[in-house]
């Protein structure tokens, strides 16, 4: 059997470079948000007040907790605690489901009130309002897709840990998946104040 030396330095560097492109992607959406906020401050204010602070704050706590579990899973796998690693990864995936569940409730409440892209209510209203909700669905939707991708990757990683393909000596894949998960958390750290708090 050939001896394969994994380059974990290179693997992590590559992951970070990818994460920077992700930061620029979400950065672009935040630039759009701030430009339209300066153009339609009143409509953005009215739109922001229709978002549910309790849902937003709960999801912030859920994501921060999932990030803690993810960070702890790296410590666990490096100390050779397989069961604990699996438990922590399940905790992270569990938090991802709670987050998506709350997001579902939040979106369906909005849909129920006739607020969704291209809805008759938004078309009839002032342009600033439909821009606000358009950006809201774009930003939280893009973020939600990242949550789903992160949860899938995390589940796949857990299977690898279960099969002991990832272990105390070789775990850079787990580290990279958790880095991706923390990025999802980082983005939400800015979405929460911008959409739910400052308006």
User: For binding to other proteins (CB under 8 A), which residues are involved?
Assistant: 8-9, 12-13, 16-17, 20, 23-24, 27-28, 30-31, 34-35, 38-39, 53, 57, 60-61, 64-65, 67-68, 70-72, 74-75, 78-79, 175, 178-179, 182, 185-186, 189-190, 192-194, 197-198
CB of 74 or CB of 125, closer to other proteins: 74
Min CB(111)–other proteins separation in Å: 26
Please, are residues 160 and 166 in contact by the beta-carbon 8 Å criterion? yes
Least distance in Å: CB of 112 to other proteins? 26
CA 67, CA 8: separation in Å to the nearest integer? 22
Nearer to other proteins, 83 or 112 (CB): 83
Q: Cβ of residue 186: shortest distance to other proteins, in angstroms?
A: 5
Kindly state the smallest distance separating residue 36's Cβ from other proteins, in Å. 10
* CB-nearer residue toward other proteins: 159 or 197: 197
Taking the least distance from each CB to other proteins, the nearer of 7 and 117 is 7
SS3 for the chain is CCCCCCCHHHHHHHHHHHHHHHHHHHHHHHHHHHHHHHHCHHHHHHHHHCCCHHHHHHHHHHHHHHHHHHHHHHHHHHCCCHHHHHHHHHHHHHHHHHHHHHHHHHHHHHHHCCCCCCCHHHHHCCHHHHHHHHHHHHHHHHHHHHHHHHHHHHHHHHHHHHCCCCCCCCCHHHHHHHHHHHHHHHHHHHHHHHHHHCC
Nearer to other proteins, 82 or 182 (CB): 182
Q: How far is the CB of 119 from other proteins (least distance, A)?
A: 28
């Amino acid at each position: 059997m050939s001896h394969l030396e994994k380059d974990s330095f290179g693997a992590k560097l590559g992951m970070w470079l990818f994460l920077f492109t992700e930061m620029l992607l979400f950065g672009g959406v935040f630039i759009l948000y701030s430009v339209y906020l300066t153009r339609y401050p009143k409509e953005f204010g009215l739109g922001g007040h229709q978002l549910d602070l309790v849902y937003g704050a709960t999801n912030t706590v859920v994501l921060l907790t999932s990030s803690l579990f993810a960070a702890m899973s790296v410590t666990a796998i490096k100390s050779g605690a397989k069961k604990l690693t699996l438990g922590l990864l399940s905790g992270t995936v569990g938090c991802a489901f709670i987050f998506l569940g709350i997001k579902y409730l939040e979106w369906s409440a909005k849909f129920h009130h006739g607020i969704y892209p291209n809805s008759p209510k938004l078309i009839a209203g002032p342009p600033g309002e439909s821009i606000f909700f358009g950006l809201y669905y774009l930003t939280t939707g893009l973020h939600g897709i990242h949550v789903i991708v992160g949860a899938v990757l995390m589940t796949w990683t857990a299977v690898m840990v279960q099969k002991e393909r990832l272990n105390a000596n070789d775990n850079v894949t787990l580290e990279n998946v958790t880095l991706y998960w923390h990025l999802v958390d980082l983005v939400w750290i800015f979405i929460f104040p911008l959409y739910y708090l400052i308006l």
